[in-house]
């Protein structure tokens, strides 16, 4: 356990970043193309799934979560789950309260 | 050698702690925007038709260009950290500068987008907007609050990037001490992450 002053940094190559960036651009293209089609409910679902995939790519590679200590990943998961619980509970409340 | 060790021991630095602190701050940001996303979800659920109608008035192309601009700025920001880790100071300054320039492009686009809407009377309290249905009024209210709060974050990011460029130039941020640049990067990627969700929710879902 020697964190502290030491910079035990994992150097990530430019190529990895460029690949992730190309992936993000492709997903942006796909999500715009899909939005042009009329798929009813699936339009929202696909848009949100693609946004989530893009978010995971940014968090794991650009924000280095993949290479950090496990503590960071646990923190991030707990924070996102907390938000999801807020969201789900709000909808339970909202759907039944009327 | 001994002397430099002694100096090192006196310089208290905790990069690990700094990064944890930054992540904790990002979680508060997540909850800040998360609350607005929940408001959006509930109103969208209630006023689906109004939201659908109003969202068609946003220019998907402008939204897409801004998405590409922000994604690219995240790329240059991430690469600037690799550059300083390799000791390539000038490349790192250039990449942070590119991030800053892209942030400016984003803001200029936003400016034109918003002024065009203002001209059509589509702003909170605007006469043309108030004549519309509740769903449309709520959609534009949330549009201005959410993209506006995001734009404030972009502006703050530009100030931070400017500081980082100065720190890189003076050597305050260097090959062995770059946690400030890393934390600025984390902030910038969060701004990008929020846009990744704002873009489909406001521009794409009709």
Whether A2 has a pLDDT exceeding 70, the answer reads no
Q: Which residue of A has its CA nearest to B74?
A: A62
Asked whether residue A2 is assigned to any structural domain, the reply reads no
* Number of domains composing chain A: 2
Whether B87 has a pLDDT exceeding 80, the answer reads yes
Let me know whether A62 and A81 are in one domain.
no
3-state helix, strand, coil in chain A (%, to 5): 75, 0, 25
Give the residue, A4 or B187, on which the prediction is more confident.
B187
Q: Could you tell me which residues are beta bridge partners of residue B174?
A: B177
Let me know whether A17 and A62 are in one domain.
yes
Judging contacts by C-beta atoms under 8 Å, the chain B residues touching residue A79 are: 27, 30-31
Give the residue, A38 or B15, on which the prediction is more confident.
B15
User: What integer pLDDT is reported at residue B164 of this predicted model?
Assistant: 97
pLDDT tens-place string over residues B180-194:
999 999 999 999 999
d(CA A58, CA B102) in angstroms, rounded, equals 17
Domains along chain B with CATH numbers: 36-204 (1.20.120.80)
Which of A 66-95 lie inside 8 A of B, CB atoms? 68-69, 71-72, 75-76, 79-80, 82-83, 86-87, 90-91, 94
Cβ contact, residue pair B16, A44, below 8 Å: no
Asked whether residue A58 is assigned to any structural domain, the reply reads yes
Chain A CB within 8 Å of residue B80 CB: no
DSSP 3-state assignment of B177? Answer: strand
- Give Cα separations from B50 to B9, B47, B129 (angstroms): 63, 5, 12
Judging contacts by C-beta atoms under 8 Å, the chain A residues touching residue B196 are: 51, 54-55, 58
- Tokens at A90, concatenated: 């709000």
pLDDT tens-place string over residues B20-52:
999 999 999 999 999 999 999 999 989 989 999
User: What integer pLDDT is reported at residue B1 of this predicted model?
Assistant: 44
- Give Cα separations from B3 to A13, B6, B7, B8, B176 (angstroms): 35, 5, 6, 9, 19
Asked whether residue A1 is assigned to any structural domain, the reply reads no
Let me know whether A45 and A72 are in one domain.
no
Whether B136 has a pLDDT exceeding 80, the answer reads yes
How many helices (H) and strands (E) chain B has is answered by 8, 0
pLDDT tens-place string over residues A23-33:
999 999 999 99
User: What integer pLDDT is reported at residue A97 of this predicted model?
Assistant: 65
User: What integer pLDDT is reported at residue B127 of this predicted model?
Assistant: 85
Read off the pTM. Answer: 0.91
Which of A 6-45 lie inside 8 A of B, CB atoms? 6-7, 9, 11-14, 17-18, 20-21, 24-25, 28, 31-32, 35, 43-44
Range of the domain at A25: 9-67
Q: How many CB atoms lie within 10 A of CB B181?
A: 24
Q: What is the mean pLDDT of chain B?
A: 92
- Give the range with max mean pLDDT: A2-6, A21-25, B126-130: A21-25
**Interval A73-93 mean pLDDT:** 91
Let me know whether A14 and A62 are in one domain.
yes
- Tokens at B90, concatenated: 């000038």
């Amino acid at each position: 356990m020697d964190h502290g002053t030491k910079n035990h940094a994992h150097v990530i190559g430019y190529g990895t970043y460029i690949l992730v960036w190309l992936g993000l651009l492709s997903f942006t293209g796909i999500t715009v193309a899909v939005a042009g089609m009329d798929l009813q409910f699936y339009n929202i679902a696909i848009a949100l799934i693609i946004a989530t995939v893009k978010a995971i790519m940014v968090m794991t590679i650009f924000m280095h979560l993949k290479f950090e200590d496990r503590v960071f990943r646990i923190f991030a998961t707990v924070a996102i789950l907390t938000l999801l619980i807020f969201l789900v509970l709000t909808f339970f409340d909202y759907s039944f309260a009327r | 050698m001994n002397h430099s060790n002694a100096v090192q021991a006196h310089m208290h630095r905790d990069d690990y702690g700094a990064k944890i602190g930054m992540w904790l701050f990002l979680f508060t940001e997540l909850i800040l925007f998360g609350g607005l996303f929940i408001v959006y979800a509930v109103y969208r659920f209630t006023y689906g038709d109004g939201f659908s109608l109003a969202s068609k008035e946003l220019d998907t192309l402008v939204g897409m260009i801004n998405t590409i601009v922000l994604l690219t700025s995240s790329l240059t920001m991430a690469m600037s950290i690799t550059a300083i880790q390799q000791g390539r100071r000038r490349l790192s300054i250039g990449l942070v500068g590119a991030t800053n320039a892209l942030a400016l492009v984003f803001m200029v686009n936003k400016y034109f987008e918003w002024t065009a809407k203002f001209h059509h009377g589509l702003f909170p309290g605007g006469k043309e907007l108030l004549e519309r249905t509740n769903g449309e009024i709520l959609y534009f209210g949330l549009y201005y609050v959410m993209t506006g709060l995001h734009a404030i974050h972009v502006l703050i990011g530009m100030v931070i990037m400017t500081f980082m460029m100065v720190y890189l130039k003076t050597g305050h941020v260097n090959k062995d001490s770059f946690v400030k640049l890393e934390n600025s990067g984390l902030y910038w990627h969060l701004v990008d992450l929020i846009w990744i969700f704002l873009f489909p929710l406001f521009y794409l879902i009709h």
